Amino acid sequence: MSTPSDIVIIGGGLAAAKTAEALRENGHTGTITIVAAENHLPYERPPISKEYLAGTKTLDDATVHPAEWYRAHDVTLRTGVTATAIDPSAHTVALDDGTSLPYNRLVLATGSTVRRLPGVSADNVLYLRTVEDADAIAAAFGEGRRLVVVGGGWIGLEVAAAARNAGTEVTVLERADVPLGRILGNRVAQVFADLHRAHGVDLRTGVEVDEIVIEGGRATGVRLAGGETIDADAVVVGIGVTPMTELVQSAGLAVDDGVLVDQTLRTSDPDIWAVGDIANHDHPVLGRRIRVEHWATALNQPAAAAASLLGTDTPFTNLPYFFSDQYDLGCEYVGHAAGHEENVVVRGDLGAREFVAFWLDDARHVVAAMNVNVWDVVDAIRPVITERRVVDPARLADPDVPYDEL
Protein backbone atom coordinates (compact mmCIF):
# COMPACT_ATOMS: atom_id res chain seq x y z
CA MET A 1 0.00 0.00 0.00
CA SER A 2 1.39 3.43 -0.96
CA THR A 3 1.92 6.01 1.76
CA PRO A 4 -1.02 8.42 1.75
CA SER A 5 -0.27 12.11 1.52
CA ASP A 6 -3.71 13.66 2.07
CA ILE A 7 -5.99 12.27 4.77
CA VAL A 8 -9.48 13.66 5.35
CA ILE A 9 -11.47 12.84 8.49
CA ILE A 10 -15.22 13.50 8.41
CA GLY A 11 -16.71 14.08 11.85
CA GLY A 12 -15.73 16.34 14.67
CA GLY A 13 -16.19 14.36 17.85
CA LEU A 14 -13.84 12.31 19.99
CA ALA A 15 -13.17 9.68 17.30
CA ALA A 16 -12.20 12.32 14.72
CA ALA A 17 -9.82 14.15 17.06
CA LYS A 18 -8.21 10.92 18.27
CA THR A 19 -7.73 9.77 14.67
CA ALA A 20 -5.81 12.94 13.84
CA GLU A 21 -3.71 12.45 16.97
CA ALA A 22 -2.98 8.80 16.18
CA LEU A 23 -2.02 9.60 12.58
CA ARG A 24 0.62 12.07 13.74
CA GLU A 25 1.81 9.67 16.46
CA ASN A 26 2.21 6.99 13.77
CA GLY A 27 4.44 9.30 11.78
CA HIS A 28 2.08 10.58 9.07
CA THR A 29 3.69 13.68 7.61
CA GLY A 30 1.13 14.55 4.92
CA THR A 31 -1.95 16.70 5.35
CA ILE A 32 -4.75 15.96 7.80
CA THR A 33 -8.06 17.80 7.45
CA ILE A 34 -10.99 17.33 9.83
CA VAL A 35 -14.39 18.34 8.45
CA ALA A 36 -16.57 18.98 11.50
CA ALA A 37 -20.23 19.97 11.32
CA GLU A 38 -20.41 21.45 14.82
CA ASN A 39 -19.07 24.92 15.52
CA HIS A 40 -16.79 23.73 18.32
CA LEU A 41 -13.46 22.12 18.88
CA PRO A 42 -14.08 18.36 19.07
CA TYR A 43 -15.38 17.55 22.55
CA GLU A 44 -16.30 14.51 24.61
CA ARG A 45 -20.01 13.92 25.15
CA PRO A 46 -20.16 11.99 28.46
CA PRO A 47 -19.78 15.15 30.60
CA ILE A 48 -22.66 16.90 28.86
CA SER A 49 -25.21 14.62 30.50
CA LYS A 50 -23.32 14.73 33.80
CA GLU A 51 -20.96 17.45 35.07
CA TYR A 52 -21.74 19.95 32.29
CA LEU A 53 -25.47 19.54 32.85
CA ALA A 54 -24.86 19.97 36.57
CA GLY A 55 -22.84 23.13 35.92
CA THR A 56 -19.63 21.76 37.45
CA LYS A 57 -17.68 21.39 34.17
CA THR A 58 -17.39 23.73 31.19
CA LEU A 59 -17.18 22.94 27.50
CA ASP A 60 -13.44 23.72 27.69
CA ASP A 61 -13.08 20.92 30.24
CA ALA A 62 -14.68 18.52 27.76
CA THR A 63 -12.69 19.43 24.63
CA VAL A 64 -10.37 16.70 23.38
CA HIS A 65 -7.52 19.08 22.49
CA PRO A 66 -7.19 22.85 22.82
CA ALA A 67 -7.11 24.90 19.58
CA GLU A 68 -3.35 25.20 19.91
CA TRP A 69 -2.93 21.43 19.57
CA TYR A 70 -4.35 21.45 16.02
CA ARG A 71 -1.96 24.23 15.00
CA ALA A 72 1.02 22.56 16.65
CA HIS A 73 0.27 19.25 14.90
CA ASP A 74 -0.52 20.83 11.55
CA VAL A 75 -4.09 19.50 11.55
CA THR A 76 -6.58 21.61 9.60
CA LEU A 77 -9.82 21.70 11.57
CA ARG A 78 -12.74 23.03 9.55
CA THR A 79 -15.57 23.52 12.03
CA GLY A 80 -19.12 24.42 11.01
CA VAL A 81 -18.64 22.58 7.69
CA THR A 82 -20.61 19.50 6.68
CA ALA A 83 -19.48 16.89 4.18
CA THR A 84 -22.35 16.32 1.76
CA ALA A 85 -21.06 13.64 -0.62
CA ILE A 86 -18.14 11.28 -1.14
CA ASP A 87 -16.94 10.34 -4.60
CA PRO A 88 -14.84 7.23 -4.00
CA SER A 89 -13.66 6.95 -7.61
CA ALA A 90 -12.52 10.58 -7.83
CA HIS A 91 -11.29 10.45 -4.19
CA THR A 92 -13.05 13.69 -3.27
CA VAL A 93 -15.41 14.88 -0.55
CA ALA A 94 -17.95 17.60 -1.37
CA LEU A 95 -18.62 20.14 1.37
CA ASP A 96 -21.67 22.28 2.09
CA ASP A 97 -19.66 25.48 1.47
CA GLY A 98 -19.51 24.52 -2.21
CA THR A 99 -15.88 23.37 -2.19
CA SER A 100 -14.48 19.89 -2.35
CA LEU A 101 -11.49 18.18 -0.78
CA PRO A 102 -9.26 15.58 -2.41
CA TYR A 103 -8.09 12.63 -0.33
CA ASN A 104 -5.82 9.62 -0.61
CA ARG A 105 -7.37 8.05 2.49
CA LEU A 106 -10.63 8.96 4.18
CA VAL A 107 -11.75 8.30 7.75
CA LEU A 108 -15.43 8.44 8.67
CA ALA A 109 -16.20 9.47 12.23
CA THR A 110 -19.68 10.91 11.83
CA GLY A 111 -21.10 9.37 15.00
CA SER A 112 -24.78 9.13 15.79
CA THR A 113 -27.86 11.25 15.65
CA VAL A 114 -30.73 11.12 18.14
CA ARG A 115 -33.91 9.28 17.31
CA ARG A 116 -36.78 11.76 17.29
CA LEU A 117 -40.47 11.36 18.03
CA PRO A 118 -42.11 11.58 14.61
CA GLY A 119 -44.30 14.62 13.98
CA VAL A 120 -43.53 16.29 17.31
CA SER A 121 -42.21 19.83 17.15
CA ALA A 122 -42.13 22.21 20.09
CA ASP A 123 -39.26 24.24 21.47
CA ASN A 124 -39.53 22.63 24.90
CA VAL A 125 -39.38 19.06 23.55
CA LEU A 126 -35.67 18.45 23.93
CA TYR A 127 -33.07 15.88 22.90
CA LEU A 128 -29.49 15.48 24.10
CA ARG A 129 -26.56 15.06 21.74
CA THR A 130 -24.74 18.38 21.61
CA VAL A 131 -23.61 21.00 24.06
CA GLU A 132 -26.37 23.32 22.80
CA ASP A 133 -28.91 20.58 23.61
CA ALA A 134 -27.47 20.38 27.13
CA ASP A 135 -27.80 24.15 27.56
CA ALA A 136 -31.47 23.98 26.59
CA ILE A 137 -32.10 21.09 28.99
CA ALA A 138 -30.25 22.74 31.88
CA ALA A 139 -32.40 25.85 31.35
CA ALA A 140 -35.47 23.72 32.07
CA PHE A 141 -34.15 22.64 35.51
CA GLY A 142 -35.08 24.23 38.81
CA GLU A 143 -37.23 24.07 41.95
CA GLY A 144 -40.90 23.81 41.09
CA ARG A 145 -40.27 23.03 37.40
CA ARG A 146 -41.71 19.80 36.01
CA LEU A 147 -39.64 17.73 33.62
CA VAL A 148 -40.91 14.60 31.90
CA VAL A 149 -38.23 12.29 30.50
CA VAL A 150 -39.39 9.90 27.80
CA GLY A 151 -37.11 6.85 27.82
CA GLY A 152 -35.30 5.30 30.78
CA GLY A 153 -32.01 4.51 29.04
CA TRP A 154 -28.61 5.79 30.14
CA ILE A 155 -29.17 9.29 28.77
CA GLY A 156 -32.70 9.60 30.16
CA LEU A 157 -31.59 8.44 33.60
CA GLU A 158 -28.53 10.69 33.68
CA VAL A 159 -30.71 13.67 32.73
CA ALA A 160 -33.19 12.66 35.42
CA ALA A 161 -30.39 12.56 38.02
CA ALA A 162 -29.03 15.97 37.02
CA ALA A 163 -32.53 17.43 37.01
CA ARG A 164 -33.36 16.02 40.46
CA ASN A 165 -30.06 17.30 41.82
CA ALA A 166 -31.19 20.76 40.64
CA GLY A 167 -34.50 20.42 42.49
CA THR A 168 -36.63 19.71 39.41
CA GLU A 169 -39.74 17.52 39.69
CA VAL A 170 -38.98 14.60 37.39
CA THR A 171 -41.13 11.90 35.86
CA VAL A 172 -39.44 9.19 33.79
CA LEU A 173 -41.58 7.18 31.37
CA GLU A 174 -40.23 3.79 30.36
CA ARG A 175 -41.96 1.25 28.15
CA ALA A 176 -40.16 -1.78 29.64
CA ASP A 177 -40.86 -3.18 33.09
CA VAL A 178 -37.50 -1.97 34.37
CA PRO A 179 -35.34 0.79 32.88
CA LEU A 180 -32.07 -0.61 31.44
CA GLY A 181 -33.52 -4.12 31.75
CA ARG A 182 -32.67 -4.87 28.14
CA ILE A 183 -28.97 -4.17 28.84
CA LEU A 184 -28.51 -5.29 32.43
CA GLY A 185 -31.30 -7.80 32.94
CA ASN A 186 -34.13 -7.09 35.36
CA ARG A 187 -32.35 -7.98 38.60
CA VAL A 188 -29.43 -5.57 38.19
CA ALA A 189 -31.51 -2.94 36.39
CA GLN A 190 -33.84 -2.82 39.40
CA VAL A 191 -30.94 -1.23 41.32
CA PHE A 192 -31.21 1.79 39.01
CA ALA A 193 -35.00 1.91 39.33
CA ASP A 194 -34.68 1.90 43.13
CA LEU A 195 -31.93 4.53 42.99
CA HIS A 196 -34.09 6.98 41.05
CA ARG A 197 -37.16 6.39 43.17
CA ALA A 198 -35.05 6.93 46.30
CA HIS A 199 -34.10 10.31 44.87
CA GLY A 200 -37.71 11.30 44.31
CA VAL A 201 -38.13 10.51 40.62
CA ASP A 202 -41.63 9.45 39.64
CA LEU A 203 -40.50 6.47 37.59
CA ARG A 204 -43.33 4.94 35.57
CA THR A 205 -42.50 1.62 33.95
CA GLY A 206 -44.51 -0.49 31.54
CA VAL A 207 -46.08 2.67 30.11
CA GLU A 208 -46.69 3.69 26.53
CA VAL A 209 -46.58 7.32 25.43
CA ASP A 210 -49.63 8.15 23.38
CA GLU A 211 -48.98 11.79 22.60
CA ILE A 212 -46.95 14.83 23.56
CA VAL A 213 -49.64 17.41 24.31
CA ILE A 214 -48.75 20.66 22.55
CA GLU A 215 -50.59 23.95 23.05
CA GLY A 216 -49.55 27.16 21.35
CA GLY A 217 -46.31 25.58 20.08
CA ARG A 218 -45.23 24.35 23.52
CA ALA A 219 -45.51 20.95 25.15
CA THR A 220 -47.71 21.08 28.24
CA GLY A 221 -47.66 17.40 29.08
CA VAL A 222 -47.37 13.82 27.97
CA ARG A 223 -50.45 11.66 27.54
CA LEU A 224 -50.09 7.97 28.28
CA ALA A 225 -51.85 5.19 26.42
CA GLY A 226 -54.27 4.73 29.35
CA GLY A 227 -55.43 8.34 28.98
CA GLU A 228 -53.57 9.91 31.92
CA THR A 229 -51.71 13.15 31.13
CA ILE A 230 -48.57 14.09 33.05
CA ASP A 231 -48.10 17.84 33.10
CA ALA A 232 -44.71 19.14 32.02
CA ASP A 233 -42.85 22.41 31.66
CA ALA A 234 -40.40 20.60 29.38
CA VAL A 235 -40.01 17.13 27.90
CA VAL A 236 -36.68 15.40 27.29
CA VAL A 237 -36.79 12.53 24.83
CA GLY A 238 -34.04 9.91 25.17
CA ILE A 239 -35.09 7.01 22.97
CA GLY A 240 -31.76 6.10 21.46
CA VAL A 241 -29.58 7.08 18.55
CA THR A 242 -28.95 5.92 15.01
CA PRO A 243 -25.60 5.94 13.18
CA MET A 244 -25.08 8.79 10.69
CA THR A 245 -24.82 6.74 7.53
CA GLU A 246 -26.61 8.80 4.83
CA LEU A 247 -23.35 10.20 3.51
CA VAL A 248 -21.64 6.83 3.23
CA GLN A 249 -24.65 5.07 1.83
CA SER A 250 -24.56 7.47 -1.10
CA ALA A 251 -20.88 6.62 -1.54
CA GLY A 252 -21.83 3.00 -2.07
CA LEU A 253 -20.07 1.61 1.02
CA ALA A 254 -21.45 -1.53 2.63
CA VAL A 255 -23.81 -0.41 5.40
CA ASP A 256 -25.84 -2.48 7.84
CA ASP A 257 -26.55 -0.83 11.20
CA GLY A 258 -23.52 1.42 10.69
CA VAL A 259 -20.68 1.16 8.21
CA LEU A 260 -19.36 -2.38 7.92
CA VAL A 261 -15.66 -2.47 8.76
CA ASP A 262 -13.22 -5.34 9.00
CA GLN A 263 -11.08 -6.18 12.05
CA THR A 264 -8.73 -3.29 11.24
CA LEU A 265 -11.65 -0.84 10.80
CA ARG A 266 -11.40 -0.64 7.02
CA THR A 267 -14.68 -0.26 5.13
CA SER A 268 -15.64 -2.04 1.91
CA ASP A 269 -13.63 0.67 0.08
CA PRO A 270 -9.87 0.01 0.48
CA ASP A 271 -9.14 3.74 0.98
CA ILE A 272 -11.85 4.46 3.55
CA TRP A 273 -11.86 3.62 7.28
CA ALA A 274 -14.58 4.18 9.91
CA VAL A 275 -14.29 4.64 13.68
CA GLY A 276 -16.48 5.35 16.69
CA ASP A 277 -20.27 5.13 16.88
CA ILE A 278 -20.63 4.67 13.14
CA ALA A 279 -18.42 1.58 12.79
CA ASN A 280 -20.02 -1.84 12.72
CA HIS A 281 -16.88 -3.79 13.53
CA ASP A 282 -15.92 -7.40 12.91
CA HIS A 283 -14.61 -7.88 16.46
CA PRO A 284 -11.78 -10.46 16.58
CA VAL A 285 -12.17 -11.29 20.29
CA LEU A 286 -15.96 -11.42 20.45
CA GLY A 287 -16.02 -13.33 17.17
CA ARG A 288 -18.96 -11.38 15.79
CA ARG A 289 -19.92 -7.96 14.48
CA ILE A 290 -20.65 -5.25 17.01
CA ARG A 291 -21.39 -1.54 16.78
CA VAL A 292 -20.69 0.23 20.05
CA GLU A 293 -22.01 3.65 21.03
CA HIS A 294 -19.50 4.20 23.82
CA TRP A 295 -16.92 6.79 24.66
CA ALA A 296 -14.10 4.22 25.04
CA THR A 297 -14.61 2.93 21.49
CA ALA A 298 -14.34 6.43 20.04
CA LEU A 299 -11.27 6.95 22.19
CA ASN A 300 -9.43 3.75 21.31
CA GLN A 301 -10.44 2.61 17.82
CA PRO A 302 -8.58 5.50 16.14
CA ALA A 303 -5.15 4.15 17.16
CA ALA A 304 -5.85 0.85 15.39
CA ALA A 305 -7.43 2.54 12.37
CA ALA A 306 -4.57 5.03 11.99
CA ALA A 307 -1.91 2.33 12.18
CA SER A 308 -3.79 0.18 9.66
CA LEU A 309 -4.40 3.08 7.32
CA LEU A 310 -0.68 3.87 7.34
CA GLY A 311 0.21 0.31 6.38
CA THR A 312 0.48 -1.74 9.59
CA ASP A 313 -2.67 -3.87 9.81
CA THR A 314 -3.80 -3.57 13.43
CA PRO A 315 -6.98 -5.35 14.50
CA PHE A 316 -8.98 -3.52 17.18
CA THR A 317 -9.34 -5.97 20.07
CA ASN A 318 -10.61 -3.93 23.04
CA LEU A 319 -13.73 -5.21 24.75
CA PRO A 320 -16.67 -2.79 24.80
CA TYR A 321 -16.49 -0.57 27.90
CA PHE A 322 -18.68 2.20 29.23
CA PHE A 323 -19.39 4.07 32.42
CA SER A 324 -22.20 6.06 33.96
CA ASP A 325 -22.67 8.36 36.94
CA GLN A 326 -26.04 9.00 38.53
CA TYR A 327 -26.35 10.71 41.94
CA ASP A 328 -23.85 8.89 44.18
CA LEU A 329 -23.73 5.79 41.96
CA GLY A 330 -20.81 5.30 39.62
CA CYS A 331 -20.44 2.23 37.45
CA GLU A 332 -18.32 0.71 34.72
CA TYR A 333 -19.39 -2.07 32.35
CA VAL A 334 -17.04 -4.22 30.31
CA GLY A 335 -17.88 -6.89 27.73
CA HIS A 336 -21.22 -7.59 26.13
CA ALA A 337 -23.95 -9.68 27.76
CA ALA A 338 -25.60 -10.27 24.34
CA GLY A 339 -28.60 -12.41 25.22
CA HIS A 340 -27.39 -13.52 28.66
CA GLU A 341 -28.70 -10.50 30.59
CA GLU A 342 -30.70 -12.56 33.08
CA ASN A 343 -27.89 -15.03 33.83
CA VAL A 344 -26.18 -12.95 36.46
CA VAL A 345 -23.94 -13.64 39.45
CA VAL A 346 -23.46 -10.88 42.01
CA ARG A 347 -20.41 -10.31 44.19
CA GLY A 348 -21.32 -7.78 46.85
CA ASP A 349 -24.56 -6.12 47.91
CA LEU A 350 -27.18 -5.03 45.37
CA GLY A 351 -29.25 -3.29 48.07
CA ALA A 352 -26.29 -1.21 49.23
CA ARG A 353 -25.46 -0.43 45.56
CA GLU A 354 -21.94 -1.72 46.04
CA PHE A 355 -21.25 -4.80 43.97
CA VAL A 356 -19.81 -6.39 40.85
CA ALA A 357 -22.29 -8.18 38.58
CA PHE A 358 -21.10 -10.84 36.14
CA TRP A 359 -23.07 -12.13 33.19
CA LEU A 360 -22.42 -15.75 32.18
CA ASP A 361 -23.18 -17.63 29.01
CA ASP A 362 -24.57 -21.18 29.08
CA ALA A 363 -21.05 -22.66 29.24
CA ARG A 364 -20.27 -20.52 32.33
CA HIS A 365 -17.90 -18.12 30.57
CA VAL A 366 -18.10 -14.57 31.90
CA VAL A 367 -19.23 -12.45 28.93
CA ALA A 368 -19.69 -9.12 30.72
CA ALA A 369 -19.28 -7.49 34.12
CA MET A 370 -20.33 -4.27 35.79
CA ASN A 371 -18.81 -2.76 38.91
CA VAL A 372 -21.05 -0.42 40.86
CA ASN A 373 -19.40 1.81 43.48
CA VAL A 374 -16.51 -0.68 43.53
CA TRP A 375 -13.36 0.61 41.85
CA ASP A 376 -10.11 -0.51 40.22
CA VAL A 377 -11.38 -3.95 39.21
CA VAL A 378 -11.88 -3.62 35.45
CA ASP A 379 -8.29 -4.47 34.53
CA ALA A 380 -8.50 -7.65 36.62
CA ILE A 381 -11.87 -8.64 35.16
CA ARG A 382 -10.97 -8.15 31.48
CA PRO A 383 -8.79 -11.31 31.24
CA VAL A 384 -11.54 -13.39 32.87
CA ILE A 385 -13.67 -12.43 29.86
CA THR A 386 -11.08 -12.52 27.07
CA GLU A 387 -9.49 -15.81 28.21
CA ARG A 388 -12.95 -17.38 28.25
CA ARG A 389 -12.35 -19.02 31.62
CA VAL A 390 -15.07 -21.39 32.76
CA VAL A 391 -16.02 -20.11 36.21
CA ASP A 392 -17.63 -21.56 39.31
CA PRO A 393 -20.53 -19.21 40.15
CA ALA A 394 -20.02 -19.68 43.92
CA ARG A 395 -16.38 -18.58 43.67
CA LEU A 396 -17.36 -15.74 41.37
CA ALA A 397 -19.77 -14.47 44.01
CA ASP A 398 -17.19 -14.77 46.79
CA PRO A 399 -15.36 -11.45 47.36
CA ASP A 400 -12.47 -13.33 48.97
CA VAL A 401 -11.56 -15.13 45.70
CA PRO A 402 -9.13 -12.96 43.69
CA TYR A 403 -10.03 -12.49 40.03
CA ASP A 404 -6.83 -14.13 38.83
CA GLU A 405 -7.79 -17.30 40.74
CA LEU A 406 -11.20 -17.67 39.12
Ligand X SMILES: Cc1cc2nc3c(=O)[nH]c(=O)nc-3n(C[C@H](O)[C@H](O)[C@H](O)COP(=O)(O)OP(=O)(O)OC[C@H]3O[C@@H](n4cnc5c(N)ncnc54)[C@H](O)[C@@H]3O)c2cc1C
Q: Which residues bind ligand X (CB under 6 A)?
A: 10-16, 35-38, 45-46, 48-49, 82-83, 109-112, 128-129, 155, 244, 247, 276-277, 293-296, 298, 322-324
Residues 335, 366: contact at Cβ < 8 Å? yes
| Of the candidates 395, 404, 276, the residue with the CA atom closest to the CA atom of residue 345 | 395
* Closest CA relative to residue 180, chosen from 209, 210, 200, 160: 160
SS3 assignment, position 310 = coil
Residue 86 CB, nearest approach to ligand X (Å): 9
Q: Alpha carbon of 200 to those of 17, 121, 327: distances in Å?
A: 39, 29, 12
Angle at 110 between CA 105 and CA 113, to 5 degrees: 165
Residue closer to ligand X (CB basis): 357 or 396:
357
User: Considering beta carbons, is residue 95 or 377 the nearer one to ligand X?
Assistant: 95
- Specify the pairing of strand 105-109 against strand 6-11: parallel
Q: Give the dihedral sign, CA 153/396/371/286.
A: negative
C-beta of residue 324 within 8 angstroms of C-beta of residue 371: no
Q: Closest approach of Cβ 20 to ligand X, in Å?
A: 12
Residue 256 to residues 133, 135, 261, 290, 319, Cα–Cα distance (Å): 28, 33, 10, 11, 21
Of the pair 29, 249, the CB lying nearest ligand X is at: 249
Smallest separation, CB 231 to ligand X (Å): 26
The minimum distance between CB 399 and ligand X, in angstroms, equals 26
Residue closer to ligand X by CB (options 42, 221) is 42
Counting beta carbons within 10 angstroms of the beta carbon of residue 136, is it exposed (0 to 12), middle (13 to 18) or buried (19 or more)?
middle
Contact assessment for residue 347 and residue 386, using Cβ atoms and an 8 Å cutoff: no
**Closest listed residue to residue 319, CA positions, set 391, 260, 257, 385:** 385
- Give the nearer residue to ligand X in terms of CB position, either 185 or 320: 320
Alpha carbons 53 and 147: distance in angstroms, whole number: 14
Min. distance of Cβ 363 from ligand X in angstroms?
Answer: 28
In the complex, the smallest distance separating the C-beta of residue 299 from ligand X, rounded to whole angstroms, is 8
Q: 52 near 22, Cβ under 8 Å?
A: no
Nearer to ligand X, 257 or 349 (CB): 257
| Closer Cβ to ligand X, 128 or 396, answer by number | 128
From the CB of 400, what's the least distance to ligand X, in Å?
A: 31
Q: Which is nearer to ligand X, 48 or 189 (CB)?
A: 48
- Could you give the CA distance from residue 266 to residue 254 in angstroms, rounded to a whole number? 11
User: Shortest approach of ligand X to residue 74 CB, angstroms?
Assistant: 20
Reference 53, options 124, 122, 155, 146; nearest CA is 155
Q: Which is nearer to ligand X, 132 or 349 (CB)?
A: 132
Q: How far is the CB of 260 from ligand X (least distance, A)?
A: 16
